[in-house]
Amino acid sequence: MLIEMRGIERVYHLGRSDDVHALCGISFGVERGEWVAIVGQSGSGKSTLMNIIGCLDTPTGGHYLLNGRDVAQLSDDDLSDIRNREIGFIFQTFQLLARESALSNVELPLVYRGIRARERRERARAALSEVGLADRMRHLPTELSGGQRQRVAVARALVSQPSLLLADEPTGNLDSGTGEEIMKLFEQLHAKGHTLCLVTHEPRLAARCPRAIRLHDGRIVADGPGREVAFAQLPGSAA
Partner 1 sequence: MSLRVDLIEGSRIAVLSLGVNRLRTLLTTLGIGIGVATLLCILGIVQGLNASFATQLSSLGSSTLWISKFPWVITGDDWWLYRNRKDFTLDDVQAIRDQSRFAAAVAPELGRGGSVSYGDRGLSHVHVTGTTGDYLTVSGFELQTGRAITDADSEYRKNVVVIGADVAESLFPHSDPIGAILRVRDLPFEVVGTLVRKGKFLGESQDTTVIIPFRTFLAAFGKRRGFEIGVAIENPDQLNQAEDELMSIMRRSRGTPADEPNDFEINRSEQLAKTYNQLTAALYGVALGVGGITLLVGGFGIMNIMLVSVRERTREIGVRRALGARRRTVIVQFLLEAMAVAAVGGSIGTLVGLAGAKLVASITPLAATVEFSTVLFGVGFSSLVGLLFGIWPAARAAALDPVESLRWE
- List residues binding partner 1 (CB under 8 A): 51, 54, 56-57, 76-77, 80-81, 83-85, 89, 91, 95-97, 99, 108-109, 111-114, 156, 160
Which is closer to partner 1, CB of 57 or CB of 217?
57
- Find, among 207, 102, 113, the residue nearest to 148 by Cα: 102
C-alpha pair distances (Å), 164 with each of 11, 88, 139: 25, 6, 27
| CB closer to partner 1, 64 vs 89 | 89
Which CB, 81 or 223, lies closer to partner 1?
A: 81
Question: Please, which residue, 57 or 187, has the CB nearer to partner 1?
Answer: 57
Least distance to partner 1 from the beta carbon of 47, Å?
9
Distance in Å, CB of 5 to partner 1, minimum = 18
Long-range contacts of residues 224-230, Cβ cutoff 8 Å, at least 24 apart: 226/37, 229/37, 229/39, 230/37, 230/39, 230/203, 230/204, 230/206
Closest to partner 1 by CB, 57 or 181 = 57
Give least dist CB 2 to partner 1, A.
18
Task: Give the nearest distance from C-beta 215 to partner 1 in angstroms.
Answer: 17
> Helix 176-191 and helix 146-159: axis angle, to 10°?
20
CB of 173 to partner 1, least distance (A): 14
- The Cα angle at residue 113 between residues 33 and 139, in degrees rounded to 5: 85
Cβ closer to partner 1: 93 or 231?
Answer: 93
User: Which residue, 60 or 95, has its beta carbon nearer to partner 1?
Assistant: 95
Q: In whole angstroms, how close is the CB of 77 to partner 1 at the nearest point?
A: 5
Strands, E assignment, the chain: 3-13, 19-30, 35-39, 61-66, 69-70, 87-90, 164-168, 196-200, 211-216, 219-225
CA–CA dist 31, 23 (Å, integer): 22
Tell me the closest approach of the beta carbon of residue 239 to partner 1, in angstroms. 35
Q: Shortest CA distance to 55 belongs to which of 19, 20, 94, 84?
A: 84
Q: How far apart are CA 2 and CA 29, in angstroms?
A: 7
